[in-house]
């Protein structure tokens, strides 16, 4: 396929990670539907060619945000300049030859007809700026989610999990009136605690409960996880779903005064802490419990929904929650392959 003329208006950003998410949030208030004309790559070609190595332009700021997340450090000026020089050389090369762009970009169609640029941000920006056609190849969401390349050594491959979750949630995007995502756990959450509310999920994983909360009316949802590849996978999923959900990596217990970089630190009206379906606490579970006790002590939790470890009981958590909440109630027990776990609601 070939993108020409008005077809460029339907191209949107898709290569999300927890670093560049902040770049887009700070400028547009969302990150999941950013059109090509607002890409930092395109802005650079329009506004910055007279002073391409200036640190203040959009493309440099975008590179900085991504670099910090991907490599855990600030890039050197030489590294930033090398990226900019490579982009400039490609732009000049395409502009000087008559053959145009040869290598197709990869696109994936979304529920609203927009096309996510899976690979080819620079080439797309160049084509739009030069007014030339853009060769493209369309892939399915299943193929896209099968090539996320977010696997971390020693951890499960999240690609099958991402594909399965998308297949579960995508029908709602196509027909909200006729389709409801089934969730025994989320069905225990009072609709009044979701509709029009801000929600925090301390243990978000790939974001299933965050997405369902948004589908059921939450105005904004923030999902936190300790695993960078999980957060990046959730962000890529939301590029397809376009829900009011953001995801962030956090590396130390929350206390109300300590939040992940980029989080606003505001108190959320409804909070989730759903521990893993294990019968022994993992490192992530321990951190989540520390988060709950820290936020509870600071008065940051108005309403908390909590699911315990498998084969634990409601009574085992009462002592913790009665220290910070006036009402603690058992909503029921959820069955899994290993046994059952209590689901508890707490209110201040």
153 belongs to a structural domain: no
Q: Is the pLDDT of residue 255 over 80?
A: no
Give the chain's domain count. 2
82 belongs to a structural domain: yes
pLDDT at 153: 58
Question: Within this chain, do residues 305 and 223 fall inside the same structural domain, yes or no?
Answer: yes
| Token pair for 317 | 């958590």
Q: Which of 90, 105, 139 is the last residue of a domain?
A: 139
Question: Within this chain, do residues 185 and 219 fall inside the same structural domain, yes or no?
Answer: yes
In the three-class reduction of DSSP (H, G, I as helix; E, B as strand; rest coil), residue 247 is classed as strand
Q: How far apart are CA 196 and CA 218, in angstroms?
A: 5
15 belongs to a structural domain: yes
305 belongs to a structural domain: yes
178 belongs to a structural domain: yes
- pLDDT tens digits, residue range 150-174? 655 556 678 889 999 999 999 998 8
- pLDDT tens digits, residue range 58-90? 999 999 998 888 888 889 999 999 999 999 999
Asked whether the beta carbons of 159 and 148 are under 8 A apart, the reply is: yes
232 belongs to a structural domain: yes
pLDDT at 297: 84
* Residue showing tokens 């299943």: 142
Question: Within this chain, do residues 325 and 183 fall inside the same structural domain, yes or no?
Answer: yes
Residue 147 binned pLDDT confidence (cut-offs 50, 70, 90): confident
pLDDT at 61: 93
Mean pLDDT for 230-238 is 94
Question: Within this chain, do residues 170 and 302 fall inside the same structural domain, yes or no?
Answer: yes
Q: Which residue segment(s) compose the domain that 57 sits in?
A: 2-139
Q: Is the pLDDT of residue 98 over 60?
A: yes
pLDDT at 256: 59
List, in sequence order, every residue forming a beta bridge with 115; answer none if it has no partner.
11, 109
- Which candidate, 279, 266, 267, 270, places its Cα nearest to that of 305? 270
- Dihedral over alpha carbons 169, 172, 174, 176 (to 10 degrees): -170
Q: Is the pLDDT of residue 244 over 90?
A: yes
Question: Within this chain, do residues 166 and 77 fall inside the same structural domain, yes or no?
Answer: no
Asked whether the beta carbons of 71 and 104 are under 8 A apart, the reply is: no
Question: Within this chain, do residues 55 and 192 fall inside the same structural domain, yes or no?
Answer: no
Q: Which of 139, 169, 189 is the last residue of a domain?
A: 139
Q: What is the CATH number of the domain that holds 185?
A: 3.40.50.150
Q: Which helix or strand (DSSP H or E) is residue 23 part of?
A: helix 20-28
Question: Within this chain, do residues 126 and 173 fall inside the same structural domain, yes or no?
Answer: no
Q: What is the CATH number of the domain that holds 88?
A: 3.90.1530.30
Q: What is the number of helices (H) and of strands (E) in the chain?
A: 11, 12
This prediction's pTM? 0.93
Question: Within this chain, do residues 169 and 315 fall inside the same structural domain, yes or no?
Answer: yes
Question: Within this chain, do residues 180 and 243 fall inside the same structural domain, yes or no?
Answer: yes
Q: How far apart are CA 3 and CA 252, in angstroms?
A: 45
- pLDDT tens digits, residue range 183-198? 999 999 999 999 999 9
Q: Which of 107, 139, 171 is the last residue of a domain?
A: 139
Question: Within this chain, do residues 22 and 112 fall inside the same structural domain, yes or no?
Answer: yes
* Residue showing tokens 């770049």: 23
149 belongs to a structural domain: no
CB atoms within 10 A of CB 311: 14
Question: Within this chain, do residues 113 and 215 fall inside the same structural domain, yes or no?
Answer: no
Mean pLDDT for 254-275 is 73
- pLDDT tens digits, residue range 331-347? 999 998 889 999 999 99
Q: Is the pLDDT of residue 38 over 90?
A: yes
pLDDT at 282: 83
152 belongs to a structural domain: no
Measure CA 285 to chain center: 21
Q: Mean pLDDT score of the chain, rounded to an integer?
A: 90
What are the DSSP calls for 170-232, one per residue? HHHHH-TTT-----TTGGGS-GGGTTT-EEEETT-TTSHHHHHHHHTT-SEEEEEES-HHHHH
Q: How far apart are CA 145 and CA 163, in angstroms?
A: 6
Greater confidence (217 vs 249) lies with 217
Question: Within this chain, do residues 256 and 177 fall inside the same structural domain, yes or no?
Answer: yes
């Amino acid at each position: 396929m070939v993108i020409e003329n008005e077809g460029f208006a339907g191209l949107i950003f898709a290569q999300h990670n927890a670093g560049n998410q902040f770049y887009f949030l700070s400028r547009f208030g969302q990150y999941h539907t950013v059109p090509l004309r607002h890409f930092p790559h395109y802005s650079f070609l329009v506004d910055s060619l007279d002073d391409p190595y200036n640190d203040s332009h959009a493309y440099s700021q975008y590179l900085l945000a991504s670099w910090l997340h991907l490599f855990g450090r600030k890039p050197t000026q030489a590294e930033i300049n090398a990226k900019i020089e490579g982009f400039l050389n490609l732009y000049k090369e395409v502009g000087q030859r008559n053959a145009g762009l040869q290598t197709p970009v990869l696109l994936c169609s979304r529920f609203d007809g927009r096309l996510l640029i899976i690979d080819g941000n620079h080439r797309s920006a160049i084509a739009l700026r030069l007014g030339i056609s853009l060769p493209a190849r369309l892939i399915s969401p299943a193929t896209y989610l099968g090539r996320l390349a977010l696997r971390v050594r020693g951890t499960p491959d999240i690609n099958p999990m991402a594909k399965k979750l998308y297949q579960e949630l995508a029908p709602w995007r196509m027909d909200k009136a006729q389709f409801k995502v089934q969730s025994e756990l989320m069905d225990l959450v009072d609709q009044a605690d979701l509709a029009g509310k801000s929600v925090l999920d301390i243990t978000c994983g790939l974001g299933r409960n965050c997405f369902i909360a948004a589908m059921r009316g939450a105005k904004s949802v923030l999902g936190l996880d300790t695993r960078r590849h999980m957060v990046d996978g959730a962000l890529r999923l939301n590029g397809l779903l376009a829900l009011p959900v953001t995801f962030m990596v956090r590396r130390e217990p929350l206390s109300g005064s300590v939040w992940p970089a980029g989080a606003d630190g505001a108190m959320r009206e409804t909070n989730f802490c759903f521990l893993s379906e294990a019968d022994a606490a993992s490192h992530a579970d321990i951190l989540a419990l520390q988060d709950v006790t820290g936020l509870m002590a600071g008065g940051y939790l108005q309403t908390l929904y909590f699911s315990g470890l498998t084969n634990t009981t409601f009574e085992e958590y009462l002592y913790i929650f009665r220290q910070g909440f006036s009402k603690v109630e058992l909503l029921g027990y959820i069955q899994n392959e290993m046994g059952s776990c209590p689901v508890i609601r707490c209110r201040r």
